[in-house]
A and B are shown apart, each in its own frame.
Chain A
């Protein structure tokens, strides 16, 4: 055991700092949650007070349920996020494996080219993307969003994952080759489980921006049946009147699935770190 870890003062300071950080980080979420259960007047009179018998109200949630098809938005957001993450991880890991594992002409340049996307925001190409989506008839489909988010997430995914794949033992992959495993089996069964922490990191990094994005849903899929949650919630924010009850309620509900996904990925993260690898 480390000496520093058993020293009670250090232990106290460490936990104190972490608890303080947690409070600061969670405070906005907490404020949103409590205010979503209050009447409009109460929200403005005492924004930090907990809802009590007088101020408690579900009016926000009722508005959200009545207004538009909230569950459809919810479902759209979930489909887009999960599908985009799936493709980012799948294609990102495959490209990373090829870059890390195989020697071919232009390997280095290919790696740099794929990493270049990290520095160039995809929104610069919005007009071209829109033209492309119109030409292919994908406007107002969820596929438009999934494709764009996959493209947006790939550079960082390839960059991070190829770094991790280089660290996977060559001997292990070679043992698989000698035992007659195909390159696909080596990739899916031997290498992917060992880079699971990196995959979880990539997933978490990509998840939030996709879930919260307003730009592409607004441009590529604004139709009623393809609206995402973020876009759907915008109806409550007007130029002159904003229905704060509804906005806060919608936000509260939007937090939930991200939280669940995060818990799943962070589990993977910890399990990946603690599982024994080669030696």
Chain B
């Protein structure tokens, strides 16, 4: 069964079209990640799904039911916000229990669900504290717990990790992945961090300017991008783009090559001067200036190439992607 399906969903704020003709299906138990640059409409799409904004046109179905006019609380969804949005006047227990109380769930059932969620999230010791007495990571877990206790058909996460520091972000990311496995619930997750997108997703939806650019599994998008935007957006460091004429005379297309697919070779297709070297231990990034073109090269392991050295760069022709003048992939 499909947990969510969007059909031709559009959203405008006055004259500004923010979402344009979105079509999307989320299968039961699937982890879907929305990525895209800032301002592309990810949060707006999530809020339309949640019912916090009305869609201007189009149809929203959750678990087979049309919910266009259903209020948020009745849609069977739960949402985790970037700013946690915990109720400051309630304890952790109160925060988690509120939605159930509103839905008139029996008292012992509420208590059982709160206990279960706090066990999963390690919050047992904090149940009687207020949000202001918790650390950032604990608050984020409470926000997730508040979503879990509702046993929703669909979880919505809006950049839940962007207020956490790097180490905590990684831990919480793993926790969310575990949670998804344990609950086997459908989840939609918004982020503009592509590591989060690649590591968590069953399916990635790439958005740009309110339009879906491509939908697919992380590896599909990485190996087979539909256009230049998707190719450049996924993968770090991002793909190099150069006029194909630099390699083949008279070719009008744009050539894309991933930094990790470029190798050092004296008789390679390109030549350039190293302007900067980043040693990451596990691998090494070179920034190379090839006659006015800046290329990024990712070498595995450690390398002793020095700044200002002139090097030859080569790549296997089957690793190259070609794009036409509109940025569409040419196969």
Which A residues have a C-beta under 8 Å from some C-beta of B? 169, 171-172, 174-181, 189-190, 193-194, 275-279
Partner of A190, one of B79, B87, B136: B87
B99:A180 contact, CB within 8 angstroms: yes
Given A175-B79, A178-B78, A180-B102, answer yes or no on A278-B73 (Cβ-Cβ < 8 Å): no
Contacts of B73 in A (CB 8 A): 177-180
User: In the complex, which residues 80-111 of chain B have their Cβ closer than 8 Å to any Cβ of chain A?
Assistant: 81-89, 98-99, 102-103
In angstroms, Cα B50 to Cα A177, docked, is 10
Given A193-B89, A279-B84, answer yes or no on A177-B52 (Cβ-Cβ < 8 Å): yes
B102:A178 contact, CB within 8 angstroms: no
Given A174-B79, A276-B131, A279-B163, answer yes or no on A179-B98 (Cβ-Cβ < 8 Å): yes
- Can you list 13 A-B pairs with a CB-CB distance of less than 8 A? A169-B83, A169-B85, A171-B84, A174-B85, A175-B81, A179-B73, A180-B102, A189-B89, A190-B87, A275-B132, A278-B85, A278-B88, A279-B136
Given A178-B50, A179-B73, A181-B102, answer yes or no on A171-B83 (Cβ-Cβ < 8 Å): yes
In angstroms, Cα B89 to Cα A189, docked, is 8
Partner of A278, one of B71, B74, B84: B84
User: In the complex, which residues 26-59 of chain B have their Cβ closer than 8 Å to any Cβ of chain A?
Assistant: 47, 50, 52
Interface membership of B72, Cβ < 8 A: yes
A174:B52 contact, CB within 8 angstroms: yes
Interface membership of B288, Cβ < 8 A: no
Could you tell me the dominant secondary structure of chain A's interface residues? Answer: helix
Which B residues have a C-beta under 8 Å from some C-beta of A? 47, 50, 52, 71-74, 77-79, 81-89, 98-99, 102-103, 131-132, 136, 146, 163
Total number of residue pairs linking A and B with CB closer than 8 Å? 69
Contacts of B98 in A (CB 8 A): 179, 181
Contacts of A279 in B (CB 8 A): 83-84, 136, 163
Extra 9 A-B pairs, beta carbons < 8 Å, given A178-B50, A180-B99 = A171-B81, A174-B52, A175-B79, A177-B73, A178-B77, A178-B99, A194-B88, A276-B131, A278-B84
Q: How far is the CB of A195 from chain B (nearest CB, A)?
A: 13
Given A194-B88, A276-B88, A278-B85, answer yes or no on A174-B131 (Cβ-Cβ < 8 Å): no
Contacts of B89 in A (CB 8 A): 189, 193
Q: Which residue of A lies closest to B87 (CB)?
A: A190
In angstroms, Cα B25 to Cα A245, docked, is 84
Given A189-B89, A190-B87, A277-B88, answer yes or no on A171-B102 (Cβ-Cβ < 8 Å): no
Q: How far is the CB of B312 from chain A (nearest CB, A)?
A: 52
In angstroms, Cα B84 to Cα A174, docked, is 11
In angstroms, Cα B99 to Cα A276, docked, is 22
A172:B72 contact, CB within 8 angstroms: no
Contacts of A172 in B (CB 8 A): 83, 85, 87
Residue among A171, A179, A279 with most chain B CB within 10 A:
A179
In angstroms, Cα B78 to Cα A177, docked, is 11
Residue among A171, A176, A193 with most chain B CB within 10 A:
A171
Contacts of A180 in B (CB 8 A): 73-74, 99, 102-103
In angstroms, Cα B89 to Cα A194, docked, is 10
In angstroms, Cα B95 to Cα A189, docked, is 13
A193:B103 contact, CB within 8 angstroms: no
Q: Which residue of B lies closest to A103 (CB)?
A: B13
B85:A179 contact, CB within 8 angstroms: no
Given A171-B85, A175-B79, answer yes or no on A276-B52 (Cβ-Cβ < 8 Å): no
Q: How far is the CB of A274 from chain B (nearest CB, A)?
A: 10
Q: How far is the CB of B11 from chain A (nearest CB, A)?
A: 13
Q: Which residue of B lies closest to A177 (CB)?
A: B72
